[in-house]
Amino acid sequence: MDKPHVIVIGAGFTGVAVAYDLAKRGMDVTVLERGPIANGTSGRTHGLLHSGARYAVDDQESAIECIDENTILRKIAAQVIEPNGGLFVGIDDSDMNYRDKFIEGCQECHIPLEEYKPEIALRLEPELTKKIRTAILVPDGTFDPLRLALAFAASAKFHGAKFRLFCEVTGFLFDGLGNVTGVKFSDRTKGKMEELSADIVVSATGSWCGEVAEMAGDPNIPIRPTPGVMVTYDQRLCQRVINRLNEPGDGDIIVPQRQMITVGTTSFEADNLDYIPVTEQQVNLMYHRGCELIPSIANTRERGAFMASRPLVDSGLKGRSLARTFKCFDHKVSQNIDGLVTITGGKATTLRLMAEKTVDLVCQKLSFPAACETIETPLISYRQYFSIPNEVN
């Protein structure tokens, strides 16, 4: 049997991980990305490698996905991860009331934890507020967003995948029955339109997957883009991730990376996803919430403020209550459009698993028997993305 050709739309975390899994299972892969690698939501994360603890009370399915994938990424993507753990810090009565639920939730989701008395926690993280009443250590971490995506993309290229950056999909090719047989796209570097056919197209377009599915004739993808703002400060004031021990909320996390820290996030809804401005009000909120955990943020220069749009799958709930799990849509099932699969939702931490489930579906649809092999093998160096030539399909 000839190798099937699969087009992946999007080179964010999901797209590069899908490309890697497809190529490793032996398929011909072309990735079309409208900008450079990880220019949308994926690049603009604070870089938290979730232990799952944040979701252990309210969204245990996501929590278990996170801890399992966290463990795998520490092995396969160690080149881009600060593996130093995270503290959930309790300061007030409300935090302390959350403590029991939190510990119970982590235990149910097999997330390992260790509780520290304030004086020990302050020895580990001297910049923490002196008001601290307890601190619980979990296996959070920090990753470099672009380099995590590049490591997957490099490994995909190593297995023969081809990347076409700055190529924006503008429409689909169809057979006479409305099934997808390829895509039309514009190469922004040349200002030229091209067409490319495929056995299956995978849309890994995150927050934008509703717009892409609509071009194929399916207006019903339940995606709720939910942007959040983050603010970066110019000094590494903690060595581990610092979380507020409470229900998920605005400004409940401080993520260290390199010689900086990032305070995040807010949660709201937006219409135009291509540009969402950061407001001063949100920056101030991050500052005040950050100072509650690490007061010396007040003496630290603001380095930058930025925004990213989470692709949350709509389950009829609002904002923070939306589940963080991912969903893979076969448009044959929902709208009788064959040849198109959409993968969206999820977390950066679960990118590998999202790819595995998506490629399982692709293999099933193409009757291409190949098993996922991305759990064990470390990714190749992210820098090799630039040295491996694009295979000519």
Partner 1 sequence: MVDLWHVTFEVFRQKDNQKSHFNFFELDINPDEYVLDGIERIWAFTDRTLVFSHACHHSTCGACGMLVNGVEKLTCITSIRDVTRDGGKIRIEPLRNFPIISDLSVDMSSLYSRMEAVGHQPILPIQEEDSKGKVKSEGDLLRLADCIECGLCISACPIALTTSNYIGPAVLAGAQQHGELTPCILELVNSENGAWRCHSAYECTEVCPSNVDPAWRIMELRRKIIANRFSSFFTRK
Residues engaged in binding partner 1 (CB under 8 A): 35-39, 42-47, 78-84, 124, 142, 144-147, 149, 166, 168, 186, 188-191, 230, 232, 236, 239-240, 256-260, 262, 272, 274-275, 277-278, 280, 303-304, 306-307, 381-387
Comparison of 124 and 372: residue with beta carbon closer to partner 1: 124
Cis previous bond, 30, omega within 30: no
Comparison of 85 and 339: residue with beta carbon closer to partner 1: 85
Structure tokens at 284: 């101030």
* Residue 92 CB, nearest approach to partner 1 (Å): 28
Comparison of 181 and 186: residue with beta carbon closer to partner 1: 186
* Residue 142 CB, nearest approach to partner 1 (Å): 7
β-pair partners for 142:
48, 82
Q: β-strand 241-244 against 28-32: which pairing, if any? A: unpaired
Structure tokens at 308: 């990213």
Comparison of 43 and 160: residue with beta carbon closer to partner 1: 43
Residue 263: helix, strand or coil by DSSP? strand
The span from the CA of 314 to the CA of 325, in Å, is: 11
* Residue 60 CB, nearest approach to partner 1 (Å): 29
Other CB atoms within 10 Å distance of the CB of residue 54: 27
Comparison of 190 and 318: residue with beta carbon closer to partner 1: 190
The span from the CA of 6 to the CA of 352, in Å, is: 18
Chain Cα centroid distance, residue 316: 22
Comparison of 11 and 312: residue with beta carbon closer to partner 1: 11
The span from the CA of 175 to the CA of 181, in Å, is: 6
* Residue 43 CB, nearest approach to partner 1 (Å): 3
Comparison of 147 and 327: residue with beta carbon closer to partner 1: 147
For residues 302 and 290, the answer to whether their CB atoms sit within 8 Å is no
* Residue 163 CB, nearest approach to partner 1 (Å): 13
Other CB atoms within 10 Å distance of the CB of residue 164: 17
β-pair partners for 135:
89, 116
* Residue 38 CB, nearest approach to partner 1 (Å): 5
* Residue 313 CB, nearest approach to partner 1 (Å): 24
DSSP string, 111-156: ---EEE-HHHHHHH-TTS-TT--EEEEE--EEE-HHHHHHHHHHHH
* Residue 320 CB, nearest approach to partner 1 (Å): 22
Residue 64: helix, strand or coil by DSSP? helix
Comparison of 101 and 188: residue with beta carbon closer to partner 1: 188
